[in-house]
Chain A
Amino acid sequence: MSDKVTFTVDGKQLEGKQGQLLIEACEESGIHIPRFCWHKRLDPVGMCRMCLVEIDTPRGKALVPSCTTQITDELSVETESEVVKKAQEGVLEFLLINHPLDCPICDKAGECPLQDQTMAYGPGESRFIEEKRHFEKPIPISDIVLLDRERCILCARCTRFSEEISGDPLIEFIQRGNKTQVNTFPDEPFKSYFSGNTVQICPVGALTATSYRFKARPWDLKKVSSTCNCCSLGCSVELNVSQNKMLRILGEDNEYTNQGWLSDKGRYNFEYLHSTNRLLSIHSKENENFENINISEANEKITKKIQELGNPDIKFIIGANSTNEEYFVINKFANLLNRNEFLGKDNSNVYFADDHISNGYFGDQYENATFEDLDSSDAIVVWAEDIKDNLPVLYLRIKKAVKNGVKLVIFGHTNTALESLADLYIGSEVISNNFEIQKELSNIKELKNIINGKKVTTIIGKSTPLQQKKSLDTLIDYLQKVSDLKILNCFSKANTFGALQQIDQLKGLNEFCTEYENSKKNIVFTIGANPVNASFFGSQIKDILQEADYVISLDIFKNETTELANLILPTTAFGEKEGTITNMEMRVMKQNKILPDPGSTLSEWEYLVMIAKSLGEDINYENVSEINNELVSQYKTTVNLPTFDNLNKPSNLFGILHEKEINLNTNDVEKNNISLLMVKRLYGDSSTQINSQSISMLGSERFIELNSITLNKYGIQSNVATLTQGSASFFVNIKINNFLPDNLVIAPINRRGFEKLDPTKEFDIKETKNMKELSVN
């Protein structure tokens, strides 16, 4: 049977797919039917009635909503008949009778579907003379979202999003009939990682974001498409700028990646760009104090230092926020310095500042998966750090796949948010609190039933830096043997995969600590990395950086690492630089520049090229597209290369999948006895977040998670306690999470102060009895 359907709209023959909704099929053929409640990514509800059209039925013409009508052969539709026009006018008049006329002060005005459709399809005037419905004007329903119920047209997009897509139905219709309103429960705010999506899809100004409220008029905004760098998923975004200030980030509907959605972190983590705390000038440490110097002074200092130290060992600690082009130059720079005649070394000296990376599963014996494979697999097997917190939109993709019938298997103790969706949760009976597999996998019947002989996509990576890679190997070996396996290596930080592709041989912080030799002269570059904070090796690295002969930090904010630098070079950030990034599927996507370089910042590559030149190296790039040109020539294929030109083509807006040899070399931490499981949560204490006013407080709560049995063992009755380890002591909230195994306590790694906690050492939890015990270190 062909899945093509031929139908008629306004006398024109159109083609569509079997089962497709009329409104969507028309849209694809260029016929726009007005709508409010229908949204491509949500289940249709046919509530607003704006998309009514006339169809022929055996009993004559009938008005039906095109958002709930599937196309069939011979379907004959009229979208512009008198009856349809009258119905559209009627619906708009109904919607407007209670809609306030506060458009002049409404954020949505100018890009408001209600405004636009009233103009196109509405009645010229209102016949309503009674009083409009009144509600208290905007009420905050979370730290980042405001609700104006008077403006709401009850399309149920927000309620459907939170129930169907994000799975945290915290916003709902209250009351009924003419009194219906959208609201949250009094003591339970709209505490969702994804709440900003409801603001974006709201067809009126009922839901607004604190960060954007009253900031701009839509027609004044400058817009550019780009790719989010908050995690390695690579969500397509649109950056909105006015008067050289980033004011808003919107999700773009990229079928392959985010499908329109963003996490609130990705959406609201931008105000830091304009923070007064930004590093905007070069700082040089002279006699324990930082002084401002200019670029040529800085260049001279570096060159002199390298030459003065004779034969220094030069190491690079890099972060995940650089572009592929920047990594390319870092790699080249590192190689030049190492192979340089008077340095004469041939070792890799680039270290990646994320403890979660492992050698992964790359190369010919493994098949790389894309996110689309999640939908077409029979089963998804996840063993990795917490997906919802670290790759939030991937959580949505998994949830969607599960909703469509894909089976889900979760390993280990970190993905408790996914457990309620899982068909099989492999927990403490199989996996120790130390993340070792304690049972022969082939003996688990339930697992076998789900994966044997099936198409399986696995999302795999270390759940915690202390997990031994051999446990992951066991799982991968088994899956390889019994199923048709595709692999998504789960490294969650921004452009990790770009670094992997561009750096000849990348190592981890473990290697940095072991390979660093005190006896030598040492220069360390940290580039967009803060290894002193939030790393298992933080304190070791702190000692090393203090001991090193010269430390050069390239960054956008001062932090625990830059404090130890001799020279701080301020760099450009997201939206201020152009380049490509590679997401976890190896999809290369474009990041675009829409903001000028602030202060005397330069791109990372500009600093490195400048330094190399003054060292006499033959390295010369005028602009970033020159780097890109050279970079793409090293990809394995020759068709559809990820050049700027290609990526800017509309057909390639969604990125180009590119394989490149990966050479990652990192060893497990030897001491791996986990007493306290440290997990990175979405919100935390990163300098970008705490300098973004709207979300700065979201990661401030100190808490621990444990199950009720473990809680009882500590004899704690209340929901607050004191966590002590050595001399460190914290007042923490207690969250009961009964998905956790007994005797496992989880703490967020990215909490201010928690870097003092050592996950391998003993700790104690005591009930907090009086306020004196609330002292915070």
Chain B
Amino acid sequence: MRWETQRLEKAKQIIKMYPQKRSALGPLLYLAQDKDGYISNESIVEISSLVGITEVQVQSVASFYSMYKQEPTGKYLLSVCKSISCEISNSSEVIESVKEFTGLSNNETDDQNLFTYESVECIGACGGAPAVQVNYETIEGLTPDKAIDLCSWLKETEPKVIVADELQEKFGGVKSFDWAIEDNTGTSSPVPGFQTYDTLKEKK
């Protein structure tokens, strides 16, 4: 499927921000992922002509970075941290409970296209280990039980927008630092919610 006009316009705007077209490749890949939940070959072709490099060059860059997904992801991308601070704070148990609840192993997506599970390297939430991200929104101080609560809540309510504050309050525990600033924004697809890409969504 070709990109819709709006997305193409966004892409052209982003390209203009950089002294050289190719620099926009990263942002454009996020636009692609926002569209399909992963970097499809069709999007690669589209980006290749927008940026002026060959398809395989786009693919080469896309496949280098772990946040550009090569397979379709579910509505909620569950990324459980397993790096050192989380590892020594029982992240393996959180991982087990998420895997058990979703029935998924690493980098798998369920048949309903609801969850994709992955264990990931450090997400910079070490003070609140173990930590997890849902569509790149961070929840800290998780326990195996709270992780299951989080998953079942996502499954039951299927929120349109994932907001870190809300999830932290409902399911989180110890935090890296106080999150005093209220924030009502998040993301609705497995990409970082970021205004430049139009992937930032406000929870109504």
Contact = CB atoms under 8 A, between A and B. Distances in A.
Interface of A: 168-176, 183-188
Interface stretch (B56-64, B126-134, B174-182): B56-64
B134 to A, nearest CB: 25
Contacts of B65: 176
Contacts of B149: none
B84 interface: no
Nearest to A175: B63
B191 interface: no
Given A175-B63, A176-B64, A170 B56 contact: yes
A184 B63 contact: no
A183 B60 CA distance: 9
Nearest to A172: B60
Contacts of A176: 63-65
Interface string B54-75: 1111011001110000000000
A188 B54 CA distance: 9
23 contacts: A168-B54, A169-B53, A169-B54, A169-B56, A170-B54, A170-B56, A172-B54, A172-B56, A172-B57, A172-B59, A173-B60, A174-B56, A174-B59, A174-B60, A174-B63, A175-B64, A176-B63, A185-B44, A185-B55, A185-B56, A185-B59, A188-B55, A188-B56
Contacts of B56: 169-172, 174, 183-185, 188
A175 B63 CA distance: 5
A188 B49 CA distance: 14
Interface in B85-138: none
A187 B41 CA distance: 9
A168 B59 CA distance: 15
B41 A169 contact: no
Contacts of B60: 172-174
Contacts of A185: 41, 44, 54-56, 59
A494 to B, nearest CB: 32
A419 to B, nearest CB: 14
Contacts of B57: 169, 172
Nearest to B55: A185
A186 B41 contact: yes
Nearest to B41: A186
Contacts, number: 38
A119 to B, nearest CB: 33
A157 to B, nearest CB: 16
Contacts of A171: 56
A120 B54 CA distance: 40
Contacts of A184: 56
A172 B60 CA distance: 6
Q: 10 tightest CB-CB pairs across the interface, nearest first?
A: A172-B60, A185-B55, A185-B56, A172-B56, A176-B64, A174-B63, A175-B63, A188-B55, A169-B54, A173-B60
Interface in B160-204: none
Nearest to B70: A175
Contacts of B55: 185, 187-188
A175 B65 CA distance: 8
Nearest to B60: A172
Contacts of B54: 168-170, 172, 185, 188
Given A169-B53, A183-B56, 6 more contacts: A172-B56, A173-B60, A174-B60, A174-B63, A175-B63, A184-B56
A188 B65 CA distance: 22
Contacts of A187: 41, 55
Nearest to B45: A187
Contacts of A188: 54-56
A174 B50 CA distance: 20
B47 to A, nearest CB: 12
Contacts of A168: 54
A186 B42 CA distance: 11
Nearest to A174: B63
Contacts of B44: 185
Contacts of A186: 41
Contacts of B63: 174-176
A183 B63 CA distance: 12
A186 B54 CA distance: 12
Interface string B34-48: 000000010010000
A188 to B, nearest CB: 5
A169 B55 CA distance: 9
Contacts of B64: 173, 175-176
Nearest to A420: B52
A170 B48 CA distance: 12
Contacts of A174: 56, 59-60, 63
Contacts of A173: 60, 64
Residue of B41, B56, B64 with highest tally of chain A CB at under 10 A: B56
Residue of B53, B63, B65 with highest tally of chain A CB at under 10 A: B63
B56 to A, nearest CB: 4
A185 B53 CA distance: 12
A446 B54 CA distance: 30
Contacts of A183: 56
A184 B57 CA distance: 9
Nearest to A163: B57
Nearest to A183: B56
Nearest to B62: A174
A172 B54 CA distance: 10
A188 B58 CA distance: 12
A168 B53 CA distance: 10
A169 B53 CA distance: 8
Nearest to A186: B41
A170 B64 CA distance: 17
Residue of B41, B44, B59, B65 with highest tally of chain A CB at under 10 A: B59
A170 B60 CA distance: 10
B58 to A, nearest CB: 8
A169 B56 CA distance: 8
Nearest to A168: B54
